Amino acid sequence: MKVFKFGGASINSVERIKNVAKIIDSYKGEKLLIIISAMGKITNALETVADAFYSSDKDEALQLFYQVKDAHTGLAGQLTNEPVSELNDIFTEVEWLLHDKPVRNYDYYYDQIVCCGELLSTAIISNYLAAVDIKNRWIDVRDIIRTDDNFRDANIDWNYTQQKVKEVIVPLFETSNIIITQGFIGATDENESTTLGREGSDFSAAIFANMLDAESQTIWKDVEGVMNADPKLFEDAQFIKTLSYAEVIEMAYYGAQVIHPKTIKPLQNKGIPLHVRCFLNPESTGTIISKQAVYDLPPIIVLKNKQVLMQFSSLDYSFAEEALAGKLNELFAENKLRANLSQNGAISLLCCVDDIPAKIEKLALAASHLFDVQIEKSCELLTIRHYNEEIIDKLTAGRIQLLLQKTRQTIQVVMTSENF
């Protein structure tokens, strides 16, 4: 049994959906569990619906949702004349909600609205596959993946989910070789929809791969495989054929957009290899990620823009030790912020964080009772694994370095091009 994951770019047009069907068909006779994301930029579009709804602009929310609806019905009609029976139920679920007034927090509504992207794409693709004689079963993953109610970043209930996989998915494979379901979403024990964080479909696939003891997981992308840098930023980015779990979890942790950071653990725990392959060139083997250590890697570069360097200095010259640092950690957790890099000084703490203005302001305000807070905006965080002096010089040239940390394998620099 293999697990496949197709992302939004692989299904953003009639041609690409047909291409996905061709790839699936080339695995005739094999058992495949297929996780699919929302089409193209639909998750972004649904986020704007959620925003409008939460600002109590019902008409705008409905208007925006009708555009999403039209995009899906239009595409479904172009693929086949067979009606997609699930679509109306999925549309109605959201439309009902949009007629209400928001009385709960934003994250809750976000999940109830945004989750429909994956439900719609999978229903349409499952229907198309059936129409071209690729027998398959469509599953609403919210009946399988149980989470807590930490909306927008829900945590998996591993025991319950494993039980459901055993009860529902395993027997289904006795009658169907292909199961189609959604990435990114789950549900609470009260049947409220939840999401696992943006780009979470890779993680959904890994959950199933782990629980089904899959022989492999394949993520089908629009690039050859994993590169040593983002090819959109670095034109000489190199393709890497093999990588270890350890290397990839580090890359994802530092912000490389290759794979959702939570994907590796469930695969590593069961020794399941992860393939990253190109849906535009399915003959190519792509990158294989496994437990095998890989030596002689090129420098691996991750550049994160939109960073803020925050300096928290104690108000009365107290040392910034455990007690104060602990309080700061609590404030970070309460505001759902994570320091991408931090450093302690005698009476101050430096933290580099993603620039999410509303969260930064809240954190700064809450911390101002304990610290003098200084904020440096418009920073970049450069991480290079397997660095050499030449690459550091090249990538930091002309920049002011605000904070630098170096281990034997990794160097991280917070830098800015702005003068004080």
Could you tell me if 187 and 145 are in contact, meaning their C-beta atoms sit under 8 angstroms apart?
A: yes
Residue 7 CB, shortest distance to ligand ASP, in Å, is 5
In whole angstroms, what is the distance from residue 30 CA to residue 24 CA? 10
What does the DSSP assignment read for 55-75?
TT-HHHHHHHHHHHHHHHHHH
Q: Which is nearer to ligand ASP, 101 or 232 (CB)?
A: 232
Asked if 183 is part of the footprint of ligand ASP (rule: CB under 6 A), the reply reads yes
Q: Which is nearer to ligand ASP, 226 or 414 (CB)?
A: 226
Asked if 40 is part of the footprint of ligand ASP (rule: CB under 6 A), the reply reads no
Specify the DSSP class assigned to residue 167. I
Residue 114 CB, shortest distance to ligand ASP, in Å, is 8
How long, in residues, is the chain? Answer: 420
Asked if 276 is part of the footprint of ligand ASP (rule: CB under 6 A), the reply reads no
Structure tokens at 363: 């954190």
Per-residue contact string for residues 201-230; x = within reach of ligand ASP by CB under 6 A: x-----------------------------
Q: Which is nearer to ligand ASP, 117 or 225 (CB)?
A: 117
Structure tokens at 241: 């054929």
Residue 43 CB, shortest distance to ligand ASP, in Å, is 4
In whole angstroms, what is the distance from residue 32 CA to residue 24 CA? 8
Query: Per CB under 6 A, which region of 37-45, 140-148, 228-236, 246-254 contacts ligand ASP?
Result: 37-45
In whole angstroms, what is the distance from residue 261 CA to residue 255 CA? 8
Q: Which is nearer to ligand ASP, 38 or 384 (CB)?
A: 38
Q: Which is nearer to ligand ASP, 17 or 411 (CB)?
A: 17
| Sign for the pseudo-dihedral over CA of 220, 221, 222, 225 | negative
- In sequence order, the 6+-apart residues with CB closer than 8 A to the CB of 207 are 145, 156, 161, 266
Size of the residue set binding ligand ASP (CB under 6 A): 12
The closest of 176, 172, 170 to 129, measured between CA atoms, is 176
Residue 46 CB, shortest distance to ligand ASP, in Å, is 9
Q: Which is nearer to ligand ASP, 209 or 402 (CB)?
A: 209
Asked if 43 is part of the footprint of ligand ASP (rule: CB under 6 A), the reply reads yes
Q: Which is nearer to ligand ASP, 111 or 199 (CB)?
A: 199
Per-residue contact string for residues 96-135; x = within reach of ligand ASP by CB under 6 A: ---------------------x------------------
| Sign for the pseudo-dihedral over CA of 63, 69, 71, 73 | negative
In whole angstroms, what is the distance from residue 158 CA to residue 148 CA? 11
Asked if 37 is part of the footprint of ligand ASP (rule: CB under 6 A), the reply reads yes
In the three-class reduction of DSSP (H, G, I as helix; E, B as strand; rest coil), residue 26 is classed as coil
Asked if 7 is part of the footprint of ligand ASP (rule: CB under 6 A), the reply reads yes
Query: Per CB under 6 A, which region of 56-64, 199-207, 239-247, 286-294 contacts ligand ASP?
Result: 199-207
Query: Per CB under 6 A, which region of 192-200, 293-301, 363-371, 388-396 contacts ligand ASP?
Result: 192-200
- Where on the phi/psi map is residue 83: left (φ > 0), alpha (ψ -120 to 50), or beta? beta
Residue 257 CB, shortest distance to ligand ASP, in Å, is 11
In whole angstroms, what is the distance from residue 361 CA to residue 366 CA? 9
Asked if 182 is part of the footprint of ligand ASP (rule: CB under 6 A), the reply reads no
In the three-class reduction of DSSP (H, G, I as helix; E, B as strand; rest coil), residue 356 is classed as coil
Residue 200 CB, shortest distance to ligand ASP, in Å, is 5
Asked if 261 is part of the footprint of ligand ASP (rule: CB under 6 A), the reply reads no
Residue 117 CB, shortest distance to ligand ASP, in Å, is 6
The closest of 214, 216, 49, 57 to 116, measured between CA atoms, is 49
Q: Which is nearer to ligand ASP, 45 or 414 (CB)?
A: 45
Pairing of strands 185-187, 193-195: antiparallel
- In sequence order, the 6+-apart residues with CB closer than 8 A to the CB of 341 are 351, 352, 381, 403, 405, 412, 414
Asked if 380 is part of the footprint of ligand ASP (rule: CB under 6 A), the reply reads no
Q: Which is nearer to ligand ASP, 199 or 380 (CB)?
A: 199
What residue ranges bind ligand ASP (CB under 6 A)?
7-8, 37-38, 43, 117, 183-184, 198-201
